[in-house]
Chains A and B, each alone.
Chain A
């Protein structure tokens, strides 16, 4: 599927809050059209890494280039332009609560395209149909369930037909059936729209169902342990920690049962 052309390149990235270094020396590439997962324990900086891609937090050191352009060295104007080609799905949907679902999706279309109101209306309807929420455009976010809010958030993320989609824990707070339906939807959207997708998650079923490539962030060493396809990493990674993570093994490191895998 992927033609192995790098779209996002991260070099020696260091993330820090003030003096507190969260992760250092992160170097990896995300290929065009692939689904890339950012894995790791809670609090290792997965979501913070996402904030570096979406322009919310400046790296302490190192650089991130998106489609060959150095993201954080560019002007603010340029960054906004790049971000218009990105869509983000936040952990709890982050729908604007004062607007209806339809208006939430229409807002970026109204602001950044020259489409007529009729066309925007049709586009909103089709985006809602894509995520299975046909006919919900007049509802306020507070009137629908959490799973539906997440779907609506996805519809808003794909409003501008982005080339890169970021997902922050898409299946958090969803039941297994809804979350696997969401995974299928993500796969189908990637295959049809040809977007590159970066997912922060620690849900193993989602990781195995979706990921072509991944990175594993470690809390103890404060850097990445490995990168590669999680299906292969689960059995062949050099790191015991990665193998244990991917096989849900919680026993003490001393026992090292992961070696017998």
Chain B
């Protein structure tokens, strides 16, 4: 017996008989079949089936049959399904039952409408960010008046997570950044015989720019992403709805401890990163440029004043706010699926880094202007 499936026809007066031969299953190779649209010549008024040589069938045959019947019905040919197996007749009946109809979607809008839609999305995002800022402000107001409810345990957990537990990775990155800076600077400064100014270069850059910046970027990837994923999953599981219906404000309960912890811990991480970076530069200065350790330290102390550290600290407070803001915003406004949680996390990290770099540029410009 032939294994693969084929479709044969025989014409008897005005009656067309379709023969299904072989095994009609989705696991067979391609079926040999006539073009369904050309199956019916105009004088055919009646359609019958013969499945005597059919060995096996599944939905593959159902698909072909459904399209044959559709074409036949469109040409108002009467159909006699007596020749089909009972199972397939039942399934055909089932497909005809229309239980639900999907709502109509608007069609493709065109170029200008797309621009319009994009801008509304942009403004909606802006509005959302503003609303979120406002809600955070309200939440802190409630905190000052002692009405905000959240778990103290949560706060201490996030303080631990954003601080001590982040130290290893911050240390590693900051050390390597200081190390690299000193290397690059050393090559240039040696040409002028000004080796000792490597200390100034590393000290100033770390304290004013790289310390806070590196700490912020690490925390965006590490903690901002975690916030977005946690809150997003809670949103997907309706946990946030559960808090709300219980009369607990999700902002107080979830956003407040996270944001407070990060805003407190970020400057500390930045200062730590400053010192570790300077240590990285110190290694290069002492071992590669043969500057005496005492001289290097003295030069560093001469180069950086307290206000340089203050610049970095002020920046990092804002960076902490940005990272917590983006993480919590994306998490709280997340959709209810695994896919949405993934998107929220990515978006939280990308937005925080973009905002951090923009804020850093603005701060640098501003501090230059006022001459700090």
Contact = CB atoms under 8 A, between A and B. Distances in A.
Interface of A: 97-98, 109, 113-116, 119, 122-123, 126-127, 129-130, 132-136, 139-142, 148, 158, 160-161, 181, 185, 188, 191-194
Most buried by B among A136, A142, A148, A194: A142
B358 interface: no
A188 B92 CA distance: 11
Contact residue range for chain B? 20 to 34
6 contacts: A115-B26, A116-B30, A119-B63, A140-B337, A142-B340, A148-B100
Most buried by B among A119, A185, A192: A192
A141 B337 contact: yes
Contacts of B98: 132, 134
Interface in B47-92: 58-60, 62-63, 66-67, 86-88, 90-91
Contacts of B25: 161
B95 A126 contact: yes
B369 interface: no
Interface of B: 25-27, 29-30, 58-60, 62-63, 66-67, 86-88, 90-91, 94-95, 97-102, 335-340, 342
B102 A191 contact: no
Instruction: Return the 3 tightest CB-CB contacts between A and B, nearest first.
Output: A132-B99, A97-B337, A161-B58
Contacts of A132: 97-100
A97 B99 CA distance: 23
Contacts of A148: 100
A243 B65 CA distance: 47
Contacts, number: 82
Contacts of B335: 142
A235 to B, nearest CB: 32
Given A135-B101, A192-B88, A192-B90, A161 B95 contact: no
B72 to A, nearest CB: 16
A116 B60 CA distance: 12
B59 A126 contact: yes
B87 A194 contact: yes
B63 A193 contact: no
Contacts of A194: 87
Contacts of A158: 59
A158 B342 CA distance: 29
A142 B63 contact: no
Contacts of B100: 132-134, 136, 148
A98 B338 CA distance: 8
Contacts of A98: 337-339, 342
Contact of B94 (A133, A142, A188): A188
